[in-house]
Amino acid sequence: QVQVVESGGGLVQAGGSLRLSCAASGTIFRNMGWYRQAPGKPRELVATITSGGRENYADSVKGRFNMYRDDADKNTMYLQMNNLKPEDTAVYYCKAVSYVDAYWGQGAQVTVSS
């Protein structure tokens, strides 16, 4: 059974930091990524990483967010978010892509107060 579970969301003041975690299990995943959805807006890409370690970031988070995979368990991924802004407020979703399908986590709320 495939599972994708996020953790680490919360409330932080502008300029603060949070780290999100994503643990995926049940199959072999090629690529993983973070997406977010703010109220009334479509879901958007935040960052992705391939099995080879190639990273891609949305322009709005470049220089502030950093994603990385656990060295011991490549199915565990983190998103370090620094210098958070109120516009980063959203539900953050982890996406894990296998060779046959894509799987989403349940989401983690991140709220940044001004």
| Structure confidence by residue, pLDDT tens digits, 20-49 | 999 999 888 889 999 999 999 999 999 999
Contacts 24+ apart (CB under 8 A), 44-51: 46/79, 46/92, 47/79, 49/77
Report how far residue 47's alpha carbon sits from residue 95's, in angstroms, rounded to the nearest whole number: 10
- Stretches where the chain sits below pLDDT 50 are none
| Residue 71, φ and ψ in degrees, nearest 5 | -65, -35
Residues 36, 25 contacting (CB under 8 angstroms): no
